[in-house]
Amino acid sequence: MAAKKTESAVGKVRIKAGVLPDVREFKRPDFTKKAADIEKAEAERVLTQGDAQAAKEIEAVAEADKEQLDAEAVTKEPRWYVAHTYSGYENKVYEGLQKTIENRHLEDQIFDVRIPMQDVVEVKNGARKVVPKKMFPGYVLVKMVMNDDTWYVVRNTRGVTGFVGPGSKPVPLSEAEMKPLGIRTSNVSVDFGVGDTIAVVAGVWKDTLGVVQKIDYNKQTATINVELFGRETPVEISFAEVRRSN
């Protein structure tokens, strides 16, 4: 009699289709969500959990927007300054600044960007090899005229955390500090700028007139376009070989 009751009880067990008894039912992913919903959810996750690097960059930009350049830091002549970057961002900062200079036509205000390098001898598997390495990881040198515009551009370049110096008063490098880097620090003053017409008074292109396209104070050259084989070609002319055309 007991056996029949047990069989009857078992016979009344209702099993859900597709689910085995005593096996945990897992919720299947909802593949009906739109891509926009997924992106929104991911963005909220990042904001909640936080990406340390992104958070630092956002914070740095916010702080930069609050500050203003100290009036005593403004210069009329280009000087070398040190911009601090996130570790490993030196090349990205270099490339970013080069593009910004070109896009915003700041060649007459930001003249040069460098990552000081040095040759280091490495011995691997018994073989000596000379490889270039950064002298100062986390730093990029910028030769620039310091004003509100250039200060803002450099500070807001992705990867830059600020200039070396107290707060909003960047300190240019002295000649003594520049000597070990092999970079010339003497400032050269010329009476022409980008867009001016100059006359070549010596050298291969003597008696040529050209409009200044670029000025390189470090190399002490001006780039002008000259006609060569029926087409305009940019050439570099030494400051000593040109005069402003009246």
Please enumerate in sequence order all residues whose Cβ is within 8 A of that of 61, keeping only pairs 6 or more positions apart, or say none: 156
User: Six-digit token pair at 195?
Assistant: 């867009």
Q: For the chain, how many residues are written?
A: 246
What structural domains does the chain harbor?
Answer: 53-181 (3.30.70.940), 197-244 (2.30.30.30)
What's the pLDDT at 43? 56
Q: Which amino acid is at 123?
A: V
The tens digit of pLDDT for each residue in 78-90 reads: 899 999 999 889 9
- pLDDT per position as a tens digit, 2-34: 555 544 444 555 555 555 555 555 445 454 445
- pLDDT for 166-204, tens place per residue? 878 898 988 778 777 756 545 556 778 888 899 888 888
| Alpha-helix residue ranges (DSSP H) falling in 105-220 | 148-155, 175-178
Handedness of CA 154, 155, 156, 160 (dihedral sign): positive
- Structure-model confidence comparison of residues 144 and 191, the more confident one: 144
Q: How far apart are the C-alpha atoms of 183 and 176, rounded to whole Å?
A: 11
Which of the two residues, 76 and 59, has the higher pLDDT score?
A: 76
Total Cβ atoms within 10 A of residue 143:
21
Q: Which two tokens stand for residue 226?
A: 């000259």
Taking the CA atoms of the chain, what radius of gyration do you get in angstroms? 32
- The arrangement of strands across the sheet holding 242-244 comes to 231-238, 221-228, 209-216, 197-200, 242-244
Here the tokens at position 234 are 């940019």
